Amino acid sequence: MRWGAGYGKKRSNSALKPILIPQLLQIPERNICLPVEDYLPELDTLTPIQGTLWVEHKGTYLAVRAEAKAIVTLACDRCLGQYNHRLALNLEEVIWLREAGAVIDPELEFEAAALLETLPPDGNFDPAQWLYEQVCLAIPPQSLCDAACEGIELEAAATTPLDSRWSVLAQLKTQIRDDCGLI
Ligand SMILES: [Zn+2]
């Protein structure tokens, strides 16, 4: 996946603009529902991220929920080939509202530790940033085009004239492949 490409030129007419948190209190139900059809900054996805995001003000915290899907292009860790990976997100998160440096009531300490995300009550919630983080977390740490991917083809490697200085490395590579049962 390429990072940092495409920001600006792809993003247009997005509903995912930062929300001023106190403004949520002025909406009767204290919640908003945002359609998502977006390419996110710094995240190169093949398709826009599509879905819905809900934000509700619960007084002392924000309840954020999202359902979204996207296709990301990843590079296989074994064969280095590019492949498309489909992501389906169904997320819920609580963002605690408190001033930076606010004294935490000792009785709330446990709760505070559990609610890691915090924002100042008069600050902004940035749905695009939040979604970006969630999509990054959803990308598998190991990328494989196929569970049975056999890596770079040996025939292709064999047709390449080999500098004798690399022959030891090539042997080692073959040995590792044998040991790992990849053949
Ligand atoms: Zn592969």
| Residue 73 Cα to ligand 1 middle (Å) | 13
Whether 42 and 132 have beta carbons less than 8 Å apart is answered as yes
SS3 113: helix
**176: which 2 tokens?**
């590792």
Q: 21 C-alpha to center of ligand 1: Å?
A: 44
Q: What is the mean pLDDT of residues 84-90?
A: 93
Label residue 125 by pLDDT band (50, 70, 90).
very high
Mean pLDDT of 52-78: 94
Q: Check the CA dihedral 96-101-102-106 and report its sign.
A: positive
Q: What is the mean pLDDT of the segment spanning 134-145?
A: 90
Quickly state the pLDDT bin for 45 (edges 50, 70, 90): confident
Q: How many A from CA of 148 to the centre of ligand 1?
A: 8
- The alpha carbon of 140 and the centre of ligand 1 are apart by a number of angstroms equal to 14
C-alpha of residue 147 to centroid of ligand 1, in Å: 8
**CA separation for the pair 74, 69 (Å, rounded):** 16
Share of the chain above pLDDT 90, in %: 45
Over residues 118-135, mean pLDDT = 92
Q: Is the pLDDT of residue 117 over 50?
A: yes
User: What is the distance in A from the centroid of ligand 1 to the CA of 164?
Assistant: 28
What pLDDT score does 14 carry?
67
pLDDT band at 8 (very low <50, low <70, confident <90, very high): very low
Per DSSP, the three-state class of 132 is helix
